[in-house]
C-alpha cells in the first residue's frame, strides 16, 4: 500500500492528485513540490506518500521511508542546483515550531544566503 489517502489532509490530497501542485521530484514512496508561498528562491516541500503527522512519527513508524525522504531531499537539492552553495533542510515539528500542515514535510530552502535560522 503505497498511498494512504486521508481526505482531511491537504498533502494526502496532493499525493492523490485532487489538489494541483508543481511537482519537481517523485519516487514510489515520496513526492516533492514547490511551496505555494515560497520563503526563498528555491522552496520545495518533500513528503512521504503515506500519511504521518510529523517527522518523529515517521521515524518511529517507518525507518525505510524516512531514509527515502532524506534521499529525495538530497535529489531535489542537487536538481535545484543547491549543492555548491548550500541549503537548508527543515522539519517544523509541533506547536512550538509553528507546524501548520500535519503531514510530515521537509522544507528544502536555498538559492540565496538564508541567514541565521531563527532570524
Ligand atoms: P509548516 O509550517 O507546516 O512547516 O509548512 C507548511 C507549508 O506548506 C508552508 O510553507 C505553506 O506555504 C505550504 N502550503 C500550505 N498549503 C499549501 C498548498 O496547498 N500547496 C503547496 N504547494 N504548499 C502549501
Ligand atoms: Zn496526509
Per-residue pLDDT tens over the stretch 18-32: 999 999 999 999 999
Across the chain, mean pLDDT equals 94
Nine cell digits for residue 6: 486521508
Phi, psi of 101 (to 5 degrees): -110, 120
Q: Does any domain span residue 71?
A: no
66 touches 113 (CB < 8 A): no
Q: Does any domain span residue 74?
A: no
Q: How many domains does the chain have?
A: 1
Answer yes or no: is the ipTM higher than 0.85: yes
Q: Does 5 score more than 60 pLDDT?
A: no
- The active-site residue out of 51, 52, 103, 105 is 105
CATH number, position 36: 3.30.428.10
Boundaries of domain holding 15: 1-50+92-112
| 105 carries an active-site annotation | yes
Ligand 1, atom 21: nearest CA belongs to which residue?
36
Amino acid at each position: 500500500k503505497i498511498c494512504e489517502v486521508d481526505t482531511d489532509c491537504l498533502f494526502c490530497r496532493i499525493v492523490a492528485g485532487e489538489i494541483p501542485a508543481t511537482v519537481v521530484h517523485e519516487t514510489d514512496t515520496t513526492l516533492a513540490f514547490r511551496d505555494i508561498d515560497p520563503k526563498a528562491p528555491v522552496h520545495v516541500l518533500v513528503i512521504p506518500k503515506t500519511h504521518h503527522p510529523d517527522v518523529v512519527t515517521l521515524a518511529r513508524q517507518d525507518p525505510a521511508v524516512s531514509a527515502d525522504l532524506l534521499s529525495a531531499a538530497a535529489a531535489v537539492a542537487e536538481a535545484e542546483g543547491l549543492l555548491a552553495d548550500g541549503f537548508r533542510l527543515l522539519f517544523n515539528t509541533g506547536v512550538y515550531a509553528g507546524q501548520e500542515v500535519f503531514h510530515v514535510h521537509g522544507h528544502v530552502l536555498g538559492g540565496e544566503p538564508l541567514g541565521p535560522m531563527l532570524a
